[in-house]
Amino acid sequence: MSKLLTDLIEALRCLPGVGGKSAQRMAFHLLERDRERGLKLADALREAMQRIGHCARCRNFSEEPLCALCASSSRDRHLLCVVESPVDLAAIEQATGYRGHYFVLHGRLSPLDGLGPEELGLAQLAQRLGEGQVEELIIATNPTVEGEATAHYLAQLAHAGGVRPTRLAHGVPLGGELEYVDRGTLAHAFGGRQQL
């Protein structure tokens, strides 16, 4: 097989859920029917990988120093929702009517994986809670063992900063990932969040 084609098939396997067989089908499909969009994908990938960084305030993905959500004047500055990942933030934005701000951990406390308070930006979060503007810290980490431990740690941070911590209501299945919860359940859990 052509070297460039073999390279492409191998490279496509960096995508989650894509094995050798589907990588091959993707490569053939693009070559046979969609080279224009294949080139667009190449450009979009390069731009995204090189230019997307993290928002200085919420740590979400952003190509600007401050993301659109943090820069917006129409979001409620009294509410701050902490999530493990940008996927969870996107899920909450899409499923609920939440109009506050976010803070993205990019992980959860996991000493075995080398993820401690520093890696999750918790000093930055503590400083923000100390600014006095946030009234409620909505803790939306996943209901896994590590997610719960992280929630516990975050609740202590909130108390130390004089901020009321709340947790999403039950309804999110135990051991599950927020990302896979259907919108209705997620919206319900979000609306029924409880004080910790």
Q: How far apart are CA 100 and CA 117, in angstroms?
A: 23
Under rule CB under 5 A, which residues in 59-78 are in contact with Zn ion? Answer: 67, 70
- Cβ-count burial 151-170 (b if 16+ within 10 Å, e if not): bebbbebbeebebebbbbee
User: What is the distance between the alpha carbons of residues 62 and 59, in angstroms, rounded to a whole number?
Assistant: 8
115 lies in the binding site for a copy of itself (CB under 8 A): no
**Which does residue 73 touch among a copy of itself, Zn ion, none (CB within 5 to 8 A, set by kind)?**
none
Binds 99: which of Zn ion, a copy of itself, none (CB < 5-8 Å by kind): none
Tell whether residue 182 is a contact of a copy of itself (CB under 8 A).
no
Of 55, 81, 95, 122, the residue at the interface with Zn ion (CB under 5 A) is: 55
- Minimum CB separation from a copy of itself for residue 6, in Å? 10
φ/ψ (deg, to 5) at 93: -60, -40
Q: CA-to-CA distance for 194 and 196, rounded, in angstroms?
A: 6
Question: Is 56 among the residues that bind a copy of itself (CB under 8 A)?
Answer: no
Is-contact 157 129, C-beta < 8 A? Answer: yes
Closest CA to 11 of 22, 3, 23: 23
> Which of 162, 166, 115 lies closest to 141 in space, CA to CA?
166
Q: Shortest approach of Zn ion to residue 174 CB, angstroms?
A: 30
Nearer of residues 29 and 78 to a copy of itself, judged by Cβ: 29
The contact set with a copy of itself (CB under 8 A) reads 1-5, 7-8, 10-12, 14-17, 22, 24-32, 34-35, 37-52, 61-64, 67-68, 85-87, 90, 93, 106, 179
The contact set with Zn ion (CB under 5 A) reads 55, 57-58, 67, 70
